[in-house]
Amino acid sequence: MIKFKVSILVISMLFIIFAPILPGSSTNVKFDIPELNGDNYKAWKERMLLHLGWLDIDYAIRKDEPPKVTKESTKEAIDLYEKWEKSNRLSIMFIKTRMCASIRGSVDQHTKVEDLIKAIDEQFATSDKALASTLIMRFSSLRLTETKGVRDYIMRMRDIAAQLKTLEVTMSDTFLVHFILCTLPPKYAPFKISYNTHKDKWSINELMATCVQEEGRLLMEEGEKVNLTVASSSKRQNDHTKDKGKGKISAEPTIKKESTRFFCKKKGHMKIDCIKFKAWLKKKGYDKPKETIGQ
């Protein structure tokens, strides 16, 4: 009978824990808690604490252990201790179900959830150091290479700074603002000069809002330059086409009559073909008019 009651109690506790994430649950809430394997400690801890809080069994994590029950304990003291003991027990059971066997074996000796979480934190302290180094390298190597995307760039930099702060690697907002300005592309040079000559210091939110405005102005200027270039190119092409049409050679070349000498002072024929000139040559007795041309 005792074993039967214990089995029912265990089944009831498991139902309480897993009922909210079962497909048939009325709330149908899924937290998707990963199994702790060493590389996902941060995400695992965040989701684990969130799940325990949502199940309302995180009392032992938030509060210290109350005095143990004695014969002199009041009903309120007994209820408080039972509440803490239940929270502690269920939390330890659930946490261990989401840990791989190799990690669970090193923390099985802990009977308090606070001590269990502390042991896990100490075990993955070196991982936090490695993560901090990775984040610092990523933070120092990020650059904005284009005019667009300044908002996303600043948000990424701010997110990395926030992650470093949780790892006890802090940086001031003033440093963050100056570093972001230094990593903006050359097109933002007048904007940087404006900030350096400004008396007031900007917060990271003010920097982001002002950079977005500057981005819009730069994009508008780039669009105007493109339109002007296209218009100028089209105009030059049209002028070239017109000049090319004007320069066509006529099928019947014209004679520059102004530079030709005429014997009869009339236009329309050259001197050698002039009838009066031929008559004059004959009168003068020139048999070879071609040899006399130019005299």
Query: Is 98 in the same domain as 188?
Result: no
Q: Cβ distance 160 to 139 under 8 Å?
A: yes
C-alpha dihedral (51, 53, 56, 62), degrees to nearest 10: 140
Is 117 found in the same domain as 146?
no
Given 123, 152, 177, the domain boundary residue is 123
**Which phi and psi (to 5°) does residue 200 adopt?**
-80, 155
Q: What is the pLDDT of residues 141-180, one digit of tens each?
A: 999 888 888 999 999 999 999 988 888 898 999 899 999 9
Domain that holds residue 269: 257-292
Total domain count for the chain?
3
Query: Does residue 142 lie within any of the structural domains?
Result: yes
Residue 1 belongs to a domain: no
Cβ(161)–Cβ(171) under 8 Å?
A: yes
Choose one of 68, 98, 123: the last residue of a domain: 123
User: Does 92 map to a domain?
Assistant: yes
Q: What is the mean pLDDT of residues 128-148?
A: 87
Percent of the chain with pLDDT over 90: 24
Quick: pLDDT tens for 43-99: 888 899 999 999 899 999 999 999 999 989 999 999 999 999 999 999 999 998 888
In a domain, 29, yes or no: yes
Q: Is residue 44 part of a domain?
A: yes
Task: Let me know whether 111 and 42 are in one domain.
Answer: yes
Other C-beta atoms closer than 10 Å to the C-beta of 98 total 15
**Locate tokens 């180094």: which residue?**
133
Q: What average pLDDT does the structure give for the chain?
A: 77
Same domain, 143 and 219: yes
**Would the pTM of this model clear 0.75, i.e. be above it?**
no
Statement to judge: residues 190 and 209 lie in one domain: yes
Tens digit of pLDDT for each residue in 182-197?
A: 999 988 888 888 888 8
Judge whether 267 lies within some domain: yes
Q: How many angstroms separate the first and last alpha carbons of the chain?
A: 151
Q: What is the DSSP letter of 34?
A: P
250-279: pLDDT as tens digits: 544 444 444 445 566 666 666 666 777 777
Same-domain status, 133 and 119: no
